[in-house]
Amino acid sequence: MGPGNDTLISEFLLLGFSEEPALQPLIFGLFLPMYLITVLGNLLIILAVSSDSHLHTPMYFFLSNLSLVDICFTSTTIPKMLWNIQTQSRVITYEACITQMYFFICFAGLDDFLLAVMAYDRYVAICHPLHYMVIMNSRVCGLLVLVSWIMGALNSLVQSLIVLPLSFCTNLEIPHYFCELKEVVQLACSDTFLNNMVMYFVAVLLGGGPLTGIIYSYSKIVSSIRAISSSEGKYKAFSTCASHLSVVSLFYGTSIGVYLSSAAAQSSHSSAAASVMYTVVTPMLNPFIYSLRNKDIKRALKGFYGMAGTKGTIISR
């Protein structure tokens, strides 16, 4: 029984993307490689940053934290979905559902906050380059990441706790591949006014707040870049922001697209499929975006591969 529930709830059913048994192997074969690429790609970014002393800077410190969060973000949903397909079961216990909901909200919020922190880092680097190392010292960087984790954890704790008193009826089917907060709340028989108000408030405050900070930072960055006289200087300044700007556009573009599509979708499965864009595709693409055009990351990865190859040769001898 869920704490505070009037109805005996022991488990929910995750309907996933499709109820057709013939499609389950295809879904499994599609999402397993995507999950492995996400974990491996982001893990390589973390190892590259930690192994190369030249990358021990605020920008790459925030990037390694973003990669860690992306691994955790994807790991809260995909392994359970793959397990359910493999075991031909749609069941998730009440406790596991609440836990999954907590960590999903936490890591989604962390992604949001870290992207805003990285935008502020780029703003300081371009608009105040002479004072960059003074402003973005190790203590400030650690504090920014710590505050991001605390805000993400508190937000998810509040939103998860107010789900506990809800009473649920006989329909316990969640038309999604994970315990998405909005879908779970919609299954409740009791009054959900507080839950809906908190969801909308958080979306405006914790969603719109970081986005506003990102837009403000980049407006200042654009003004500073325009003031640079040489075209080479402009290109160099913009290139330091290109990867982050691509990730921001991908994350917010897919998130807003999912919100609009879920509001207009006639099928619940359509909303689940649309949410794959920001829960799976975006974390998978982030390592490619940051490594393909980044010479420092490429050099660090080559050095890491070389170091690993050397160790392997020594061990084999």
User: What pTM did the predictor assign?
Assistant: 0.87
Least confident of 95-99, 225-229, 290-294: 290-294
Distance set, CA 57 to CA 121, 221, 264 (Å): 11, 20, 44
- Of the candidates 141, 99, 103, the residue with the CA atom closest to the CA atom of residue 120: 141
State residue 140's pLDDT score. Answer: 96
Assess whether pLDDT exceeds 80 at residue 263: no
Least confident of 101-110, 148-157, 228-237, 282-291: 228-237
Residue 2 lies in a domain: no
Alpha helices in the chain (DSSP H): 24-51, 58-75, 78-87, 94-127, 132-135, 138-161, 181-186, 193-202, 208-227, 231-264, 268-276, 282-292, 295-316
More confident residue, 308 or 199: 199
Task: For residue 101, give its domain range.
Answer: 11-316
The most confident of 12-16, 205-209, 228-232, 243-247, by mean pLDDT: 12-16
293-317 pLDDT, tens digit each: 677 777 777 776 665 555 554 444 4
56-96 pLDDT, tens digit each: 899 999 999 999 999 999 999 999 999 999 998 899 999 99
- For residues 231 and 102, give the distance between their C-alpha atoms in angstroms, rounded to a whole number: 47
State residue 3's pLDDT score. Answer: 43
139-181 pLDDT, tens digit each: 999 999 999 999 999 999 999 999 999 888 877 888 889 998 9
- Torsion, Cα 119 275 65 141, to 10 degrees, reads 30
Residue 4 lies in a domain: no
State residue 300's pLDDT score. Answer: 75
- State the average pLDDT over residues 1-9: 49
Rounded to the nearest 5°, which phi and psi values hold at 5?
A: -85, 140
Domain count within the chain: 1
Residue 148 lies in a domain: yes
State residue 313's pLDDT score. Answer: 47
More confident residue, 247 or 72: 72
Token look-up 């420092």 returns 296
- State the average pLDDT over residues 181-202: 89
Assess whether pLDDT exceeds 90 at residue 268: no
Residue 101 lies in a domain: yes
The CATH number of the domain holding residue 203 is 1.20.1070.10
State residue 161's pLDDT score. Answer: 93
Assess whether pLDDT exceeds 60 at residue 2: no
State residue 315's pLDDT score. Answer: 47
Q: What strands lie across the sheet with 11-14, from one edge to the other?
A: 91-93, 11-14, 173-174
User: For 52, how many CA atoms within 13 A lie in the half-sphere containing its CB?
Assistant: 24
State residue 264's pLDDT score. Answer: 58
Assess whether pLDDT exceeds 80 at residue 254: no
For the chain, what percent of residues have pLDDT higher than 70?
Answer: 88
Assess whether pLDDT exceeds 80 at residue 215: yes
Residue 5 lies in a domain: no
Assess whether pLDDT exceeds 50 at residue 10: yes
State residue 1's pLDDT score. Answer: 40
